[in-house]
Chain A
Amino acid sequence: MLGFFRRTPRPDTSAGAARDRLQILLAHERSGRTSPEVLPLIQRDILEVIKKHMRISDDSVDITVEPGDDFSTLEINIELPGTSGARRGIPN
């Protein structure tokens, strides 16, 4: 309970601002330490799994990490071949 109150940001002091800035920055820097190496591997694995069941091209999986203040979002976009061009909004 006390820990909860202690964590409340204290932007009213410069020391509180220092802590808040560090916590946000280091969360990003620490995740950055692993993600550049891991992302291509995840991308390759996802592609392999989908290829077992569907015919998709090698460049149809796109992975990005969107950093946020409290958490980061791993965004995976997989482009599947449509049954018809019209459904994907592509004019015939």
Chain B
Amino acid sequence: MSKIIVVTSGKGGVGKTTSTAAIGAGLAMRGKSTCVIDFDVGLRNLDMIMGCERRVVFDFINVIQGEARLNQALIKDRRLENLSILPASQTRDKDALTKEGVEKVLNELREQFDYIVCDSPAGIERGAQLAMHFADEAIVVTNPEVSSVRDSDRVLGLLSSKTHRAETGQDPIKPHLLLTRYDTARVAKGEMMPLEDVLEILAIPLLGIVPESPAVLRASNVGTPVVLEGKSPAASAYEDAVSRLMGEQIEMRVQRPERPGLLSRLMRREA
């Protein structure tokens, strides 16, 4: 049974596309046939991050409108044979994306792929709502920062009310928290919210912690998903996240300093 996973966040710039590419590639590396879809009509970028921007001929909208067959629009990744990309349209109007059209394409994709990973546009408008509408699971990408956490909370509200599963009374979409750009040094200094605080506020299961890492920009520069760019803390974090997504129990590997207990806080105050 194939799974549709939406990568969403509300806030822009938190790492949705990076995460879609890394998790899509990670699933393909683990032998799962995987398709990544760009839902950001007009501002497509998944093709750039995946490094296939010059191979785009037809796109998602062409398929929805019957101007191209699905297999003409799917771009096969050159590094991983069981990974494909369905790019968004760069020129069409956002309204070309219809609920019926999206459903039809997703159903067709379900027949050939184990995992369909939908890269949501930022915001909570039409494009973002369509990206999450038919999802079975959701990866909520969040930075340990107030506006990102607030927007993630809003997105969680939409996932549980405005989606196909919610509207038809099925089991709710399974949410996963992916905490990105995490900096243990700043957490230790009290400059960044620790994992525990974000988890307590959003109250959803943790899929992974991706540390702030120069590898992410390096990978995007050359159009390679970060898991294929070589060993890095970010790559390991995404590999672990992929394992958890596949149902494996993996220990959280990002080391973090202990929070000061009551005693040490009292002592610091007295000092």
Residues of chain A touching chain B, judged by Cβ–Cβ distance below 8 Å, are 2, 5-6, 8, 10, 12-16, 18-19, 21-23, 25-26, 29-30, 33
Contacts and interface: CB of A to CB of B under 8 A. Distances in A.
A91 to B, nearest CB: 51
Contact of A22 (B149, B154, B187, B190): B149
B262 A5 contact: yes
8 contacts: A13-B191, A18-B145, A19-B201, A22-B150, A26-B153, A29-B153, A30-B153, A33-B157
Contacts of A2: 261
B206 interface: no
Given A8-B262, A25-B150, 11 more contacts: A2-B261, A6-B196, A12-B190, A14-B190, A15-B187, A18-B145, A19-B197, A19-B201, A22-B146, A22-B201, A30-B153
B197 to A, nearest CB: 4
B212 to A, nearest CB: 15
A14 B259 contact: no
Nearest to B263: A5
A14 B262 CA distance: 18
Contacts of B201: 19, 22-23, 26
Contacts of A12: 190
Nearest to B269: A12
B10 interface: no
B193 A15 contact: yes
A24 to B, nearest CB: 11
Nearest to B196: A6
Interface of B: 145-146, 149-150, 153-154, 157, 187, 189-194, 196-197, 201, 259, 261-262, 265
A33 B261 CA distance: 36
A15 B192 CA distance: 5
B191 A14 contact: yes
Contacts of A14: 190-191
Nearest to A33: B157
Nearest to A1: B262
A19 B191 CA distance: 11
Contacts of B153: 26, 29-30
A21 B147 CA distance: 11
B141 to A, nearest CB: 17
Contact of A15 (B150, B194, B261): B194
Given A26-B153, A30-B157, A18 B193 contact: yes
B157 A15 contact: no
Contacts of A15: 187, 190-194, 197
Contacts of A8: 262
A22 B151 CA distance: 11
Given A6-B259, A26-B201, A33-B157, A16 B190 contact: yes
Interface centre among B194, B259, B262 (most CB of A within 10 A): B262
Contacts of A33: 157
A19 to B, nearest CB: 4
Contacts of B194: 15
A15 to B, nearest CB: 5
A33 B265 CA distance: 37
A31 to B, nearest CB: 11
